[in-house]
Amino acid sequence: MLTRFFLMGLDRKAGLVLTVLALLAVLVPVMTLIVPEGSPWHVSIFTVSLLGKYLCFALLALALDLVWGYVGILSLGHAAFFALGGYAMGMYLMRQIGPRGVYGNPILPDFMVFLNWKELPWYWLGFDHFWFAAIMVLVVPGALAFAFGWFAFRSRVTGVYLSIITQALTFALLLAFFRNDMGFGGNNGLTDFKEILGYDIQAPGTRVGLFLATIAALALSYMIASGIIASKLGKVLVAVRDTESRVRFLGYNTESYKLFAWTLSACMAGVAGALYVPQVGIINPSEFAPASSIEAVIWVAVGGRGTLAGAILGAVLVNFGKSYFTGALPEFWLFALGGLFVLVTLFLPKGLLGLWAQLTARLPNAKGPNAKGKNAPNGNTADQKGM
Amino acid sequence: MRRALRWLMAACVAIATTSAALAADLRPLVQTMGSGGYSGTEKALNQLSDAGDPAAVPVIEALQAGDLYVRKADGLVVIARKVGAGYALTDPLSGAALGEAAAGAIDRIKVNNAMRRAISAALGALTLMSPDPAVRRSAADAVFKSRDANALDALNTALAKEKDERIRRAMEQARAAVILTAGASDADTQAAVATLAGRGDRDALALLSMIAASGASDTAKTAAAAAVATVEQKLMFWGALQNLWYGLSLGSVLLLAAIGLAVTFGVMGVINMAHGEMVMIGAYTTFLVQQGLRTYAPGLTDLSVLLALPAAFLVSGGVGVIIERSVIRWLYGRPLETLLATWGLSLVLQQAVRSLFGPTNREVSAPSWMSGAFELGGLTITYGRLWIVVFAFAVFAALLVALKRTWFGLSIRAVTQNRPMANAMGIRTARVDALTFGLGSGIAGLAGVALSQIDNVSPNLGQSYIIDSFMVVVFGGVGNLWGTLVGALALGSLNKFLEPYAGAVLGKILVLIFIILFIQRRPRGLFALKGRAVEA
Amino acid sequence: MRTIQQTMGRGMTGRVATFGISTLAGLAMGALAGSAQAADDTIKVGILHSLSGTMAISETTLKDVMLMLIDEQNKKGGVLGKKLEAVVVDPASNWPLFAEKARELLTKDKVAAVFGCWTSVSRKSVLPVFEELNGLLFYPVQYEGEESSRNVFYTGAAPNQQAIPAVDYLMSKEKVQRWVLAGTDYVYPRTTNKILEAYLKGKGVKDEDIKINYTPFGHSDWQSIVADIKKFGSAGKKTAVVSTINGDANVPFYKELGNQGVKAQDIPVVAFSVGEEELAGIDTKPLLGHLAAWNYFQSVDTPINAEFIKSWKAFTKNDKRVTNDPMEAHYIGFNMWVKAVEAAGTVAPDAVIDSMIGVAVPNLTGGYSAMLPNHHITKPVLIGEVQENGQFETVSKTPGLVPGDEWSDFLPDSKDLISDWRKPLSCGNFNVKTGKCGGKGT
């Protein structure tokens, strides 16, 4: 049953994505840990962490694409789920510091010590266990998304109204986490982590391990997402995207379908955040900033909305561009990045993967114009009003 | 400044007529002002004011204005005013010209806060008898603040002569403050308490509560306590009104920021992430206009904000038209793509402004008619905020008229309601699109002029308003201008009412939660568009 | 697509990949791993300041001043006979990006030292990277203290070099008895206010005479808070505001103060984050007499400062550019680094870290600043009043130099801690009571 579910989503494109991920999973560790430094084939630990970060963003983009590309919910607050997952992991990592903090307090993190907190707030309890944190990584974003979606979908909040209240949600969380009284370290957030599951977080082996975990999470999420899309459930979701009222009139309870996809997507985003934190070494409220959510939307759009591979491609590509340009063109990189967004929108309306589809469609043996990006939104129906 | 000059002239006349002997007495005191650093100057200043001679006024005013110098060559204290590259020196007491000096040949006598306070007090006591009513009024206020017991005699003399009712009241209050601070007979104290209770503001409250808690007689204490209670009640009432005003003023800032978006996003459906940058461009235009006027027409600087209005409208509107023609017009029917493209544009515009003007804040100074505040009953209303409220409503009204009563407005509504039909009726839809986007951007530019008065003029200016603007438009109902108006005022007032209880941060969080919950109740905003078009 | 290939294409080696992701992976590795070849005839110096985003407003100037200092040093013949080469990156006010860029500077560009960061969170973000890769960071901004790392040199003020002297001044000269501690809600104001609260209470100030207020970043509507300050200040006791309000929020705050007529004679505001650069964006006429506490003002009248200002204006080709305290901190830090490198004869981090301690270089206020064993420096503390021309006039200066105290004596958990990076102690948080190093030693 489960195998069939996964196999169902495995078309040619999915095969390619998984192959690339598998290749990365084999090559990168070898090139990092075995190939000696100095060899042109050596990959530095810095690069591994960087790739890991890109893949975390790719997972976030994948989660976003699932709800935006296939259900038509444009979330301008997905970074909130990402950050919540990140905070859950960050809290575990903080507890692992133990007495090695600057004040040497075995229980309280440093920021609590200098704010004169005497004991750990209740919501920090349990985070000294990895299993608890791991559950929370899924539960906290999932529960928030469930509650939020439960109300919003039932009230039939749609389109731009839904987008803006997701933005309000992430903005409210941003302000809340900024508050030092909240007990999450305020603006400084959580940082200076020492070890994860007993392994030194800075050791090359751990970094490669985290990288592999990210690949595994991404591959698994990809299989789940493409499995869902290929299933009957997926067909209903796409139908909801295109005309929700018609699906409702056909007797489907569209709210439940949307709620399922929405909650699942939030959990995926939470996992992405949890993997992101140990690799970049800090989680702070700026991850909640509405701009980060909008950026995630842009990754998906650049790669190609409504194509899972496109979301991954877009996230990796845009973030690579950001890393590269901020080093190479520190004064002008915003021109390059901003210009890229404008050009992609104007000339590649279906994103990079759309271009791929267009190119293949032009080949003589292609299936004809209608075949291009069969899952890509039609634009005229779903996008007519709002999002 | 003009007042100071007038006084200077009056004082010169006074010096000429009063006996030269008095001026001679002051001279050693004036001379000591130049030595001993801050504390030395302050000591001499106090002695000068205790002497009670109006001849000292020009000296003290020169000190306040930073025009009092020590000539390095002989240590003489002089008044120096910049003339060309050097300074023209005059004698502080006689006003006689003492020739010129280079900038390096004289040392300015420095003034700090403690001294500024002493200067105000001294000028207050010395100018109570001034022929200018405005000066007498501010002198009375200065004495009220300083509560200097030495000023009591001067106050009594001045009160006996004063004819102007309002100045008399100010002087009586000042006298009451002096009496209460210095301590006096029971009857006097009670009379003073009554006078202050009539004043009824925070300063009076402070004095009254001091008496209520002090060692005065029981009757005085009871009277003071009763007065405290009435004043407090009055202040509470005014406090609530004041809060309402703050809400209105924050609401009108939100309205200004959002109203352009209500056109580009609400009417046209473009998710315009570059809206904030249009506001920023308007603010920078104000800066440029002001710089230009400062350089080429210094007399008109006070009007720079007014002149900036059309300029900002045209510049931001022009940028808007260019954006529409080059980018947005390819994206109609694909609103999501407009989000992406305008986000890219906003990055480019921010960085462009940063490269052109530098990353730091630019100074836009407030014109004199926009600075300061006035009291309305117990309300303190700042002119800047008042004008912004007026301006926001004016812009709103103008936009409403433009949309409802002009041919252009009719075309806009026709195009947004049914594009093919409008086209068929001979409306040049492409041009209308460009002009509509230009209109929305131009209004954003106008908002920038207003915001330059209260916020940073920096490349990040727009970013801080974009989210609030979207909240307002969506809360009010997309496509409905009245919704934007009501939404802005409602959110502004709500925020200001929550702030005193919850603090600024929590207040804002609560407002956001309120928006989320409100949208659950009314999924299409406050003023929902009705009809089939909504569901499509 | 052509455009994209052109912009992105440095690593693309002709071969058109069959699938985007594999191309991309190749591209990433090629660009990130491959291009690390350092020329041996120069010494690289990293500059890690945000050039875009919210902090660009403050940090861009520091990038410029570093470029100027490096340029001047090169004109003097460089360091150890080699030219210095500046490597500028843009962490874009994004805290995780700070860590990434720090790692890039240290591993890819192999810089000898990094000058950078402004906010506490950016420093916290890069700290583990510098400790892991044994790099050198010079941090030029006043900060909350409570930190001492072997790899970081703190050339900005610790709280005892700014906040406490300012409060002392207000108490003695302005006779202030009632205090509003207003700040942005983040760690620097929180810690500073905590220290000040303890300090004020130690001086006999009562609870009801202290009011603490926090606002979010970029707070722009100050009407109610300023009105509240006025209200608090009208209780009959002399009141002052100690402001740790950060960056962007200051301009609207001061504009509101001016409009509501809060005069320095009545309620003075002393700020720790407002310098010449911030005032450049405000009309300062209504602010005459409000105060700031720093270790440097542009108006300081010394020959060395006049020289510095002259070369700064020449370098930026802008006669209106102002100088400020963090710029002086970089000036001191950079000269200290040059001196330490020359003393050590190498840029190797361990040797430089050892030779840094005790190095003394001229500061711009006419004295010498020395690097202490706790990696903080000695500085004079100046209190200045805002003038109409947007400059400060010094109204008080500490008689001697104040050594930076990283672990505040006024916080219960840090009063027993000291830091001393000299051997054999070599510890950033040594507890004098227990005689133990708290886990950060070597």
Partner-chain contact A114 C411, CB within 8 Å:
yes
- CA–CA gap between residue C278 and residue B254 (Å, rounded): 25
At B15, the pLDDT band (50, 70, 90 cuts) reads very low
pLDDT digits (tens, 9 = 90+) for C305-319: 999 999 999 999 988
Taking residues C220-240, report their average pLDDT.
Answer: 88
Q: What is the dihedral of CA A338, A339, A342, A343, to 10 degrees?
A: -150
Touching subunits for chain C (3+ Cβ pairs under 8 A): A, B
Question: Tokens 């370098």, residue?
Answer: C315
CA distance B357 to chain A (A): 14
* The pairing of beta strand C178-184 with beta strand C210-215: parallel
Predicted pLDDT at B353? 94
Q: What does pLDDT average to over chain B?
A: 85
Taking residues A78-82, report their average pLDDT.
Answer: 96
- CA–CA gap between residue B20 and residue B96 (Å, rounded): 13
- CA–CA gap between residue A173 and residue A266 (Å, rounded): 15
Partner-chain contact A157 B343, CB within 8 Å:
no
Partner-chain contact A356 C20, CB within 8 Å:
yes
Q: Are C407 and C417 in contact (CB under 8 A)?
A: yes
User: Looking at the DSSP assignment, which residues form a beta bridge with residue B108?
Assistant: B69
* Cis bond before residue A364 (omega within 30° of 0): no
Partner-chain contact C186 A188, CB within 8 Å:
yes
Q: Judge whether C306 is closer than 8 Å to chain B, CB to CB.
A: no
- CA–CA gap between residue B301 and residue B294 (Å, rounded): 6
pLDDT exceeds cutoff 90 at B390: yes
pLDDT digits (tens, 9 = 90+) for B36-83: 788 888 888 888 887 777 788 888 888 888 888 888 888 888 888 888
- CA–CA gap between residue C390 and residue C293 (Å, rounded): 15
B240 Cβ contact partners less than 8 Å away, ≥ 6 residues apart: none
pLDDT exceeds cutoff 50 at C20: no
Burial of C24 (0-12, 13-18, 19+ CB in 10 A): buried
A and C: number of Cβ contacts within 8 A: 195
C307 Cβ contact partners less than 8 Å away, ≥ 6 residues apart: none
Taking residues B95-105, report their average pLDDT.
Answer: 83
pLDDT digits (tens, 9 = 90+) for B238-248: 888 999 999 99
Partner-chain contact B253 C221, CB within 8 Å:
yes
Tell which wins on pLDDT, B273 or B84.
B273
Q: Judge whether C129 is closer than 8 Å to chain A, CB to CB.
A: yes
User: Looking at the DSSP assignment, which residues form a beta bridge with residue B323?
Assistant: none
What ranges do the domains of chain A cover?
2-292
* Residues, chain B: 536
Burial of C39 (0-12, 13-18, 19+ CB in 10 A): exposed
Range with the poorest average pLDDT among A86-100, B13-27, B299-313? B13-27
Predicted pLDDT at A365? 53
What ranges do the domains of chain B cover?
2-118, 145-216, 239-529
Taking residues B324-348, report their average pLDDT.
Answer: 87
Interface test with B, best of A165, A182, A241, A255 (most B CBs within 10 A): A165
Residue of A nearest to C128 (CA): A192
Taking residues B106-110, report their average pLDDT.
Answer: 86
Predicted pLDDT at C425? 86
Q: Are A110 and A95 in contact (CB under 8 A)?
A: no
Tell which wins on pLDDT, C144 or A380.
C144
User: Looking at the DSSP assignment, which residues form a beta bridge with residue C385?
Assistant: C291, C393
Question: Tokens 């027993």, residue?
Answer: C416
pLDDT exceeds cutoff 80 at B349: yes
User: Looking at the DSSP assignment, which residues form a beta bridge with residue C179?
Assistant: C210, C240
Partner-chain contact A165 B519, CB within 8 Å:
yes
Q: How far is CA C82 from the centre of its chain?
A: 28
Q: Are B44 and B32 in contact (CB under 8 A)?
A: yes
Range with the poorest average pLDDT among B249-263, B374-388, C349-363, C367-381? B374-388
pLDDT digits (tens, 9 = 90+) for C69-114: 999 999 999 999 999 999 999 999 999 999 999 999 999 999 999 9
Q: Judge whether C3 is closer than 8 Å to chain A, CB to CB.
A: yes
Touching subunits for chain B (3+ Cβ pairs under 8 A): A, C
Residue A98 region by backbone torsions, left for phi larger than 0, else alpha for psi between -120 and 50, else beta: left
At C4, the pLDDT band (50, 70, 90 cuts) reads very low
Tell me, what amino acid is at A362? Answer: R
CA distance B209 to chain A (A): 35
Q: Which of B225, B209, B325, B286 is nearest to B456 (CA)?
A: B286
A1 Cβ contact partners less than 8 Å away, ≥ 6 residues apart: none
- CATH number of the structural domain B239-529: 1.10.3470
Q: For the range C14-17, what are the long-range contacts, defined as Cβ-Cβ under 8 Å and sequence gap of 24 or more? A: none
pLDDT digits (tens, 9 = 90+) for A301-343: 889 888 899 999 999 999 999 998 888 888 888 898 899 889 8
Partner-chain contact B474 A161, CB within 8 Å:
yes
Q: Are C137 and C151 in contact (CB under 8 A)?
A: yes
Interface test with C, best of A177, A188, A340, A343 (most C CBs within 10 A): A188
- CA–CA gap between residue A383 and residue B458 (Å, rounded): 35
Residue of B nearest to C322 (CA): B360
At B3, the pLDDT band (50, 70, 90 cuts) reads low
pLDDT exceeds cutoff 60 at C290: yes
User: What is the token pair recorded at C390?
Assistant: 């947007």
Q: Judge whether B525 is closer than 8 Å to chain A, CB to CB.
A: yes
User: What is the token pair recorded at B231?
Assistant: 């004043």
Contacts of C281 in chain B (CB under 8 A): 360-363, 456-458
Taking residues B498-507, report their average pLDDT.
Answer: 86
Burial of A38 (0-12, 13-18, 19+ CB in 10 A): exposed
Count of Cβ atoms closer than 10 Å to residue A64 Cβ: 30
pLDDT exceeds cutoff 50 at C288: yes
Predicted pLDDT at B8? 54
* Residues, chain C: 442
Taking residues A220-238, report their average pLDDT.
Answer: 92
Q: Are C55 and C141 in contact (CB under 8 A)?
A: no
Q: Which helix (H) or strand (E) holds B99?
A: strand B97-101
Predicted pLDDT at B62? 87
pLDDT exceeds cutoff 60 at C441: no
CA distance C248 to chain B (A): 7
- CA–CA gap between residue C170 and residue C175 (Å, rounded): 6
In C33-97, where do the E strands start and end?
42-48, 83-89
At C379, the pLDDT band (50, 70, 90 cuts) reads very high
Most confident stretch, A350-359, B142-151, C143-152? C143-152
User: What is the token pair recorded at A46?
Assistant: 């810095």
Q: Are C296 and C276 in contact (CB under 8 A)?
A: no
- CA–CA gap between residue B310 and residue B197 (Å, rounded): 49
At C240 the three-state DSSP class reads strand
At B215, the pLDDT band (50, 70, 90 cuts) reads low
At B532, the pLDDT band (50, 70, 90 cuts) reads very low
C168 Cβ contact partners less than 8 Å away, ≥ 6 residues apart: none
Angle of helix B152-161 versus helix B165-182 axis, rounded to 10: 160
The dihedral built from the CA positions of residue B445, B449, B453 and B458, taken in this order, carries a sign that is: positive
CA C401 vs CA B486, C94, C340: distances in Å: 58, 35, 21
Q: Which phi and psi (to 5°) does residue C259 adopt? A: -65, -40
pLDDT digits (tens, 9 = 90+) for A346-357: 888 888 888 877
Partner-chain contact B521 A176, CB within 8 Å:
no
User: What is the token pair recorded at B472?
Assistant: 């307002």
How would you label A67-102 residue by residue, b for 16+ Cβ within 10 Å and e otherwise? bbbbbbbbbbbbbbbbbbbbbbbbbbbbbbbeeebb
Count of Cβ atoms closer than 10 Å to residue B81 Cβ: 12
In B109-253, where do the E strands start and end?
none
Question: Tokens 């561009």, residue?
Answer: A321
User: What is the token pair recorded at A55?
Assistant: 């893949």
User: What is the token pair recorded at A283?
Assistant: 């989680």
Taking residues C152-172, report their average pLDDT.
Answer: 93
Q: Are C344 and C43 in contact (CB under 8 A)?
A: no
Predicted pLDDT at A61? 97
pLDDT exceeds cutoff 90 at C137: yes
pLDDT exceeds cutoff 90 at C158: yes
Predicted pLDDT at A85? 96
Q: What does pLDDT average to over chain C?
A: 86
Partner-chain contact C215 B249, CB within 8 Å:
no
Taking residues A261-288, report their average pLDDT.
Answer: 95
Predicted pLDDT at C280? 82
CATH topology of domain C163-271: Rossmann fold (3.40.50)
Range with the poorest average pLDDT among A144-153, B183-192, C4-13, C322-331? C4-13
Partner-chain contact A313 C20, CB within 8 Å:
yes
Residue A198 region by backbone torsions, left for phi larger than 0, else alpha for psi between -120 and 50, else beta: left
What ranges do the domains of chain C cover?
163-271
Q: Which of B308, B339, B365 is nearest to B466 (CA)?
A: B339
ipTM, two decimals:
0.88
**Largest alpha-carbon pair distance within chain C?**
79
* The pairing of beta strand B68-71 with beta strand B77-83: antiparallel
User: Looking at the DSSP assignment, which residues form a beta bridge with residue C202?
Assistant: none
Rg of chain A, C-alpha, whole Å: 21
CA distance A271 to chain C (A): 18
DSSP state of A99: G
Q: Are A179 and A284 in contact (CB under 8 A)?
A: no
Partner-chain contact B113 C60, CB within 8 Å:
no
Which alpha helices (H) appear in chain A, and where do they start and end?
Answer: 2-8, 12-29, 45-69, 78-97, 110-114, 130-154, 159-178, 204-230, 232-242, 244-249, 254-280, 290-303, 308-328, 333-347, 351-362
* Cis bond before residue C399 (omega within 30° of 0): no
pLDDT exceeds cutoff 60 at B158: yes
Rg of chain C, C-alpha, whole Å: 23
- CA–CA gap between residue B492 and residue B514 (Å, rounded): 13
User: What is the token pair recorded at B185?
Assistant: 């007979």
Range 34-73 of C in CB contact (< 8 A) with A: 34, 36, 51-52
At A360, the pLDDT band (50, 70, 90 cuts) reads confident
Q: Are C365 and C325 in contact (CB under 8 A)?
A: no
At B480, the pLDDT band (50, 70, 90 cuts) reads confident
